[in-house]
Amino acid sequence: MSIATSRLSAAELQALASYDSPTLANAMEACGRYPRLGHFVGYDIRCLYPDLPPSCGYAVTCRADSTTEGRKMERGLVQLWELLANTPAPTLVVIQDVGTDRVHSCHCGEVMATTMKRLGAVGLLTDGGVRDLHEVRALGGFQFFAPGLVVAHGNPLIFDIGADVTISGVPIKTGDLLHGDANGLLKIPHDIAAELPAAAQEVRAREAETLRRVQSPDFSPIEGPRKSEH
């Protein structure tokens, strides 16, 4: 089992990762081919290591349940590791919680994160809980995007490997390109991914010019001739 998708080169992925997520979101808007909503997670998903640089990778999806007593399934976690092992890095593991009590769910800690990183993942996106915050930080370069921390893993089960999932209202398929940082996370359409760095640079240039005018001595919020033009 592997991901069949349109992939960027290592240099193109590095170029995307050099920009913050809000700038790329603005660049997507500037392309004018996509709606302004539906492609980014809300503030119910937090970046738990905001000091790390942006994470950029291809989604590897599954569902999980850690809060249903007595539920049993087989081989789900092994299948996730197999999919990650057969998917070119970088990847972002995406786990949708489908249990009975999401606020007490917990889907990843030190051992899971270490295995994910060993298999090429740069982070995890989930609408359930995670744990072992300090130990996962010590791995270096592995990001958590999650609602928050939960101390115990309950009855953890991983299943539906490669299934279409929804996180914070965003539909995500295995193979989708994701980008996230301290500000949040967004899904980048494959057909504009390669052109986004150039569009992002244009966004930065326009914003720099706007900030220069706002900070100039003759700035006025009212349209019309500036003081220096009188």
Return the ∠ at Cα 188 (arms to 182 and 189), rounded to 5°: 175
The mean of the pLDDT values for the chain is 92
Q: Compute the chain's Rg from CA coordinates.
A: 20
pLDDT digits (tens, 9 = 90+) for 117-138: 999 999 999 999 999 999 999 9
pLDDT score of 226: 46
Could you tell me the pLDDT band of residue 228, with boundaries at 50, 70 and 90?
very low
pLDDT score of 63: 97
Task: Map tokens 């398929």 to a residue.
Answer: 173
pLDDT digits (tens, 9 = 90+) for 6-18: 789 999 999 999 9
Return the ∠ at Cα 170 (arms to 132 and 70), rounded to 5°: 50
pLDDT score of 34: 74
List all residues 6 or more positions away from 116 whose beta carbon is below 8 Å from its beta carbon.
Answer: 84, 93, 108, 124, 142
Could you tell me the pLDDT band of residue 227, with boundaries at 50, 70 and 90?
very low
Q: Are 48 and 133 in contact (CB under 8 A)?
A: yes
Q: Centre a 10 Å sphere on the Cβ of residue 190 and count the other Cβ atoms it contains.
A: 14
Mean per-residue pLDDT, 197-219 = 91
pLDDT digits (tens, 9 = 90+) for 147-199: 999 999 999 999 999 999 999 999 999 999 999 999 999 999 999 999 999 99
Task: Specify the higher pLDDT residue, 225 or 28.
Answer: 28
In CATH terms, the fold of domain 10-214 is Glucose Oxidase; domain 1 (3.50.30)
Task: Map tokens 């010019």 to a residue.
Answer: 209
**E-strand stretches of 28-90:** 46-47, 55-65
Could you tell me the pLDDT band of residue 223, with boundaries at 50, 70 and 90?
low
Compute the residue count for the chain: 230
pLDDT score of 58: 98
pLDDT greater than 90 at residue 40: yes
